Structure formats: structure tokens, C-alpha cells
Chain A
Amino acid sequence: MSPRETASLAALTGDARLRRRRMLNHGMEALATLAALAAVAVLALVIGSVLLKGIGAINLDFFIHSEVPFGQTGGGIANAIVGTVVLVALASLMAIPVGILIGIHTSEFARPRTSAAVRFALDILNGVPTIVTGIFIFGLLVVGNQQSGWAGATALAIVMLPIVARAAQEVLTLVPSTLKEGALALGATRWRSVVRIVLPTAAGGLITGALLAVARVAGETAPLLFTSSIISTTGVSTNPGHALTSIPVRIFELTEGYSSNERAQAWAAALLLIVAVLALNLLARWLYRRASPASSMGTRVR
């Protein structure tokens, strides 16, 4: 019932009780609107602060120079940018193929009971605190060895896997079975139908899942603290055999310093990170809405 209808009814009957109910209704509607406004306001507040405090320290030097030893002024985050790119690329190479194969398993081969079990395992893996994932990889690859880009990338890959795989499961099961049956009826083998029909049909959704996972781990600090944070050289390095620093780890370290130079750099790095992560998120959503046939089937993937 629209407010106006309620209002006219109240006028007709002159019922005080109805007026009270209407007031309560308006109050609750206002509260709900306020809650949504508050959430959007907090987002604006955080992004606004990062923008205001970060923009001043953004200049060319910031991008092309590496970090300087503690206490010195100047320097930039070139090594952290390169480190993040290497770590996230390696993690993507590990997690995205495996994640899509899990999706293929669910949509093509697995019995319902099996795919339910796999889905449950992935959801649980998604719920493991990432700091615990960091400790797992520390125990697996760092103890008796040393921190390395490989260890960091593996930890990030474990964070990515459930995101990619669950998205792949969702979109691949949405590919119409008529399409697959058509391919098979024409004599295509199963793997040809998967490669030529199923994967291209679901490409938009698969890319969305992968991009969301990349956006997620690009900002991860906790899995890297014990696996790839103690660097031996402050220069730009692409060698995953040694620990590689990253933008989030660098921000975390910079906040432990109190000089204005460190603070300014932390904000500037935060600005770079937040712009990259939000852009990836928006791109993923936009792609999904544009490209995926699944989105026109009324299902969403986040």
C-alpha cells in the first residue's frame, strides 16, 4: 500500500491507531534508507581520505624509484609494484586453470553428490582466515627454507582458488545443455565441446570470476607477511626465488614508521592500490553484465 493510500484511508476513518501505524512505517523506512546512506557515506569517506592524503605524494619518482632504507627521505614503490604484479601473475597462473577445471568437473563429469562435496570444500576454503593460509604456506614452504615469491604466490593462489572455482561452477552449469548436446550430436568429442562450445559460451562469467579473484589478492597482506615480506634487496626484482615485496605489505610496513615521508608514501600507495582494486572490481561487474549469456539467464555472480 502506498503512503498516499494509507493516508487517505486514515483521513476517511480518522483512526488515530492507523496514523500511529503509518508513523511507525515511515520511521522504519527512514531508518532503512539511512542505513544504506551510511554505508555509501563510509565508502565515500574512505575513498575521499585516501584520495586527499595520497594525491600529494603521487609523482613520477614515486612510480619509478624503489624504496629507500628506513629513515631516509624520497624513494618510491617501484619494487612493490613489480612485486605485486609478479606475485599476482604467478598466483593467477596456479589458481585460474585449476579453478576453471574444477568448474568443468562439476558441469561435465561429476555426480551431484561429488560436486556438492567439492562446492562445500571450496566454501570452507573461502572461509579460512587468510592469516591462517599464510601460516600454512609458512610451514609448508618457508620453514627449513626461506621466504620466496613462490611461497607468497602459492598462498595467494589458495586465496584465489575458491573464488575462481565457485564462479566457474556457477557459470559453467548455466551453459544450456542443448548447446552441449548439439555439439556432441554433431560428433564432437567431449573435450572439443568443452573447449569450443562450453568455455567460449561462459567466457564472460569465467573472466569475471578471475578478475574478482585478482582484485581480491592484489590487496592481500596477511598471506604474504610470513611468506614473502623480508626482502634482501630494495631494488626492483622479478625473481620469485627470493622474497618479493608488494604494495599491501609495503603499506603495512610504512604505517609502522612515523615520519611524514613514510606517511605520505603509505597514503599514495594506498591510493594506487584502491584505484586498481576498485577498477578491477567494476571492470569485472561490467564485463559480466555485457558479455555473459548467463547474466541474461537471471543469475548473478559476484
Chain B
Amino acid sequence: MSSQSATPASPSALRLSSAHHSFADRLGDPALRALAWLASGVAIVILGALAYKVFALAGESFSRYGLGFITSENWNPSQGTNGYGFGAADFLFGTAVTSFFALLIAAPVSIAIALFLTELAPRRIRRPVATLVELLAAIPSVVLGLWGLIVLAPMMRGTIEPALQSVFGWLPLFSGTETGLGMITAIVILTIMTVPIVSAVTREVFATVPTELKEGALAMGATRWEMVRMVMLPYARSGMVGAVILGLGRALGEAIAVTMVIGHTVNGLHPSLFATGDTLASRIASEYQGAATSLQISSLAYLAAILLVLALIANVVARLIVRRTTVRLPVGLGAPN
């Protein structure tokens, strides 16, 4: 609203109001304005301070290893032993593999769910089903991790991994011994965590497709799927890309649930999804408390700095893309970490 409307229109109104104006009223306006400005300032300062502090903590490791840290596979925190040193490559690999495959599964599933909710579901069950899918994002990640560790992992080792191996065993991805705890279990957990957010954003994107376009396609004799394929998906393409990148941002940063199921032992750039591994976030979560040397703490902060940069890129790109499609993004969606 415009600030002009704050000025009372008639002199009598002015007199009337000024009679009511106590000390609190004269103080109230500037105080509220100042507090409101301050609050917005706090949000921006926190963001800046956060980035500064994480990079500052990483300083010791950065001055020791430079950017070579990113490509070094060596991570040996036992001081005094041969090869004591730190590098991020194994964890970058773990983060890339788990996030990529999680989104590879989550993207089509989420789009299908969004299509079901916008086009197929009877009006009565739309809201309940949408709520249930979103509640999936509300499950605390430590609970999902516990479930992954005790229920999902044995199921993966006993049933799913052998089945995948018997059918796709010729692919390096599904070679090696089934462990239950490894990259593939982390991928399943991350898929579960990203589907709610990707499908929620995709649903918002689909809601922006003009009804005339959809009806036009149907009137031309297209089946519902042809309408989806020829009208909705092309119209919503960039929004869907944004939704998936937003999901990627979530997957990259998930620490607790992943750390509980991924097995931690790194195996280099191993092609098998059954192998154990570690992501940037899960290594920080598992090692930070037991860190013995300041170089180790600093190297873990270096991992955090890399993670921060990746998450920031994913979020900025996703928001820029999605904002172009004038979609209101869900706030507060996403599992507690």
C-alpha cells in the first residue's frame, strides 16, 4: 500500500487522531519501522556471517592444500601415520553419485505424482493425498535414518540388491557384493526425501498451465496423456527443471539420514552402487565430533564450504528458473536434517 494513505484526509480527523496519540503512539511508528528494518537486516547478516565463518574455519586447510584439496582422494586423519592428510574427492564423488541417482528416480516419480494430483485424482482425494505426500517431507531425517538402518538395509541386502544384480548384474553399477549399507541405500533414502519437495513445486508449476491450452488439446481429440505430453510438459519444462534442481539442493545437504545408512568406508571412485561410501555432509556429521587435530577440523569445514557453495548454486539457479515461471515456492517444506 502507498504511504500517502497514512495521512488523514480531513483536518477534523487529524485533530481527532492527535488527541488520541499518546507518547507510545509517537514512539511506536519509528520504533516499529526500525525494528522491521533491523529484522530484515538480521536475515541478510546471518547469511553473510555464515558464509564468512565457514570459509574462515576452512582457512587452515585451504592454505595447506589450496584447491588441490578438491581433487585429492587422500583422507587420513590419524596423525603421525603415513599419508596423514586430507582431500575431498571421495566425498564429492559420493555426493554426486547419491544425489544424481536419487534425483534420477525422484524426478519422474514426482512429476507423475504431480500429474496424478492435478489431472487424475478425484477432487475429494486430492487434498488428502497431497497432504500425505508432503508429510513424507516432515519425517525427521534421524527417524528416516533409523528406519533405513534397521528396516530398509536388511531388505536391500536380502531382496532388492540380489534382484537388481540378477537382472542388471552385467552393469558395473550393480556389481560387487550386496552390503545393505551403502550408496544404493542412501540413494533410496534421498529419493524418499526429495520426492515431496519436487512434486510440490511441480504441482505449483502445473497449476500455471492455462486451462484454455489444455482444453484446446482435448478438444482437438488428444487423449489425456497426449495433452500432458504436448501441452503441459512443454509449458512446464523450465519450472520442472527448477523443481528438480531444488530437490538436488536438498539431496546434496542431507547429512544425518545418509550418514546412518551409507557405510562410511570410501572405496575410491568405485562404479558399484552396492559399495559403501561417504558424502560431504555425511562425513562432516560422522567425524566432526571426534576430530583430533585443528587441521582435521579445518578440513571438515573445507568440506562444509564446498557443500555450502554447491547448495547455494543449486538454490540460486533453481529459484531463478522457478521465479521466471511466477510460481510461489513452498516454504518450510523439507525434512529436518
Interface residues of B in 1-46 (CB under 8 A from A): 1, 5-6, 8-9, 13-14, 16-18, 20-21, 25, 28-29, 31-33, 35-40, 42-44, 46
* Cross-chain contact of B38 among A99, A101, A267 (Cβ < 8 A): A101
Give the CA-CA distance A166 to B314 in the complex, in Å. Answer: 19
- Interface: B186 (CB within 8 A): no
Q: Which residues of A contact B249 (CB under 8 A)?
A: 127
Query: Given contacts A101-B35, A185-B9, is CB(A121)–CB(B44) below 8 Å?
Result: yes
Do A42 and B223 touch (CB < 8 A)? no
> Using Cβ atoms and an 8 Å threshold, which residues of chain A touch B37?
105, 109
**Complex Cα gap A121–B254 (Å):** 21
Determine if B57 and A139 form an interchain contact, defined as CB atoms under 8 angstroms apart.
yes
| Cα-based distance from A163 to B5 in the complex (angstroms) | 31
Distance in angstroms from B6 CB to nearest chain A CB is: 5
Q: CB within 8 A of B223: which of A21, A121, A158?
A: A21
Is B327 among interface residues, defined by CB-CB distance under 8 A? Answer: no
Interface residues of B in 266-295 (CB under 8 A from A): 281, 284-285, 288-289
* Chain B residues within 8 Å of A212, by CB: 332
Does residue A207 face the partner (Cβ distance < 8 Å to B)? no
Q: Which of B65-73, B83-91, B131-139, B169-177 contacts A (4 or more CB under 8 A)?
A: B131-139
Over the window 203-239 of chain A, the binary record of Cβ atoms lying under 8 Å from chain B Cβ atoms (1 yes, 0 no) is 0000001001101111111110110011000000000
- Interchain CB contact under 8 A, B308 and A39: no
Number of interface residues of A (CB under 8 A): 115
Which of the segments B74-82, B145-153, B157-165, B234-242 contacts the partner chain?
A: B145-153
Q: Which residues of the other chain, B, contact A39 by a CB distance below 8 angstroms?
A: 109, 113, 132-133, 136, 195-196, 199
Cβ proximity bits A111-133 to B, threshold 8 Å, 1 near / 0 not: 00010011011111111111111
Which residues of B lie under 8 Å from residue A281 when comparing CB positions? 135, 138
Q: Is the CB of A32 within 8 A of B253?
A: no
What residues of A have a CB within 8 angstroms of the CB of B109 in the complex? 35, 38-39
List B contacts of A302 (CB < 8 A).
134, 200, 330-333
Dominant SS at the A interface? helix
Given that A39-B195, A43-B132 are known contacts, is A216 also in contact with B112, CB under 8 Å in the complex?
no
User: A192 contacts B28, CB within 8 Å?
Assistant: yes
**Distance (Å) between the CB of B337 and the closest chain A CB?**
4
- The contact string, 1 if C-beta is below 8 Å from chain B, for chain A 174-196, is 00010011001111111110100
User: What is the CB-to-nearest-CB distance from B123 to chain A, in angstroms, rounded to a whole number?
Assistant: 15
Across the interface, which residues of A come within 8 angstroms of B281, CB to CB? 129, 131, 222
Assembly CA distance A302 to B140 (angstroms): 17
Tell me if A294 is interfacial: C-beta within 8 Å of chain B.
no
A125 near B47: Cβ-Cβ < 8 Å: yes
Chain A residues contacting B222 (CB-CB under 8 Å) are 1
Tell me, in angstroms, the Cα distance from A166 to B334 when the chains sit together.
Answer: 14
Chain B hits for A180, CB < 8 A:
1, 5
Contact A192 B25 (CB under 8 A): yes
- Residues B140 and A301 in contact, CB atoms below 8 Å apart: no
Q: Which residues from chain B contact A140 at a C-beta distance below 8 Å?
A: 49, 53
From A129, A177, A255, contact of B253 by CB (8 A): A129
B224–A1 contact, CB under 8 A? yes
Identity of the chain B residue whose Cβ is nearest the Cβ of A127 in the assembled complex? B315
Contacts of B168 in A (CB 8 A): none
Query: A-side interface residues toward B, CB under 8 Å?
Result: 1, 6, 21-22, 24-25, 27-29, 31-36, 38-40, 42-43, 45-46, 49-50, 53, 97-99, 101-102, 104-106, 108-110, 114, 117-118, 120-133, 135-136, 138-140, 143, 158-159, 161-163, 165-167, 170, 177, 180-181, 184-192, 194, 209, 212-213, 215-223, 225-226, 229-230, 248, 251-252, 255, 263, 266-267, 270, 273-274, 277-278, 281-282, 285, 299, 301-302
8 A-B pairs (CB sep. < 8 Å): A32-B112, A49-B151, A104-B39, A108-B36, A124-B316, A131-B307, A159-B336, A217-B336
